[in-house]
Amino acid sequence: MTRSIRPRTLVAALALAIPTVLLGAPAAHAGPIDQTSGFYVNPQSSPAAWVAANPGDGRAGAIRSQIAQRPMASWFGNWSGDISQAVGRYVGAADAVDKLPILVAYNIPGRDACGGHSGGGAGSVGGYDSWISSFASAIGNRPAVVVLEPDSLGDFGCMSQSQINDRLGMLSRAVAQFRSKAPNTWAYLDAGNPGWVDANTMAQRLNSAGVANARGFALNVSNYFPTSDNANYGNRVAAALRNYGYSKPFVIDTSRNGNGSNGEWCNPAGRRIGTPTQLGGGAEMLLWLKTPGESDGNCGVGGGSSAGQFLPEVAYKLIYGY
């Protein structure tokens, strides 16, 4: 579609909101993202679908206004069917209303190998390479934000060196696919959270995974650490990347960190939604990457559920922090 250039664009706002020291992205990724009018709200997200199906439920109003009507990411994996069609539909819907979509790619072989609650992923290295190539091609020249493979660099403890090498290679090739096939996408490699590995180790892993060709890295995906803790950690990782000759900006998942972390990661009680998706805020962007109310797995207050299942009572409690 033909777009009109707006005087206050996303990129212009970023330039005002983010310290210059954090900006190290490839110039090729500064394309027509600045022509969108804001972040995309998916009318078919799981909380929106629940609200539509349960309009008489006493929790529906709060879930609608506080969660379903907020911009958040849509996740794509081996449940998505034809990935070209799934991504193309989602990005196309955002493009049609001149909004910036946020996507999470979650299909790497051995996904969540050490955590176990979200296991799965593509069946082979070649299968993943093909899948992520189709993902990037489906976005094409349209603007998007993509976070690549949560959990993938946070824990190598249950993996062999051969598996680690395969993973780093897949991530590096994935970043290259977005750089070449989706030039107006800002791609961020997942970099865990402040409670996982030290900043120098994470910088080394990011460098080996090709972050030099990405926009930057993502923190706190599906976790609960306070924004300030993530910002401090992200700045340390960015500083450590200078040992490799460059630095990168980062984004933070604030979807469920309003009450911080109690040390648990799998459906802990007493958490709260955090700052809604926005530019700046101590990072390049604060993003709702995990959908509030979607389960982390059969654990905690989500006992009996499966990872990704929407739980309205959990969503409702996240709004009020209990």
Q: What is the pLDDT at residue 111?
A: 82
Q: What is the pLDDT at residue 34?
A: 79
Domain with 134, as residue range(s), is: 10-320
3-state SS string for 63-84: HHHHHHCCCCCEEECCCCCCHH
In a domain, 289, yes or no: yes
| pTM (global) more than 0.85 | yes
In a domain, 268, yes or no: yes
CATH number of the structural domain spanning residue 283: 3.20.20.40
Q: What is the pLDDT at residue 113?
A: 67
Mean pLDDT of 7-17: 41
- Clarify whether 253 is annotated catalytic: no
Residue percentage of the chain with pLDDT more than 90: 83
229-243 pLDDT tens trace: 999 999 999 999 999
Cβ atoms of 141 and 184 closer than 8 Å: yes
DSSP 8-class letter at 196: T
Q: Which residues are annotated as a binding site?
A: 75, 196, 223, 265, 290, 294
Of 151, 166, 190, 253, catalytic:
151
- Clarify whether 296 is annotated catalytic: yes
In a domain, 2, yes or no: no
20-68 pLDDT tens trace: 333 333 333 344 367 799 999 999 999 999 999 999 999 999 999 999 9
**Beta-carbon contacts of residue 51 (< 8 Å; ≥ 6 apart):** 60, 63, 64, 68
In a domain, 162, yes or no: yes
Q: What is the pLDDT at residue 16?
A: 38
How far is 169 from 171, CA to CA, in rounded Å? Answer: 5
106-149 pLDDT tens trace: 999 988 767 666 667 898 999 999 999 999 999 999 999 999 99
In a domain, 260, yes or no: yes
Q: What is the pLDDT at residue 7?
A: 31
Q: Is the pLDDT of residue 4 over 50?
A: no
In a domain, 256, yes or no: yes
Q: What is the pLDDT at residue 9?
A: 44
In a domain, 4, yes or no: no
Q: Is the pLDDT of residue 13 over 80?
A: no
Count up the domains in the chain and report the number.
1
In a domain, 114, yes or no: yes
Q: Which residues are annotated as a binding site for substrate?
A: 75, 196, 223, 265, 290, 294
Residue percentage of the chain with pLDDT more than 70: 88
Q: What is the pLDDT at residue 318?
A: 98
Half-sphere exposure for 127 (CA within 13 Å, toward CB): 12
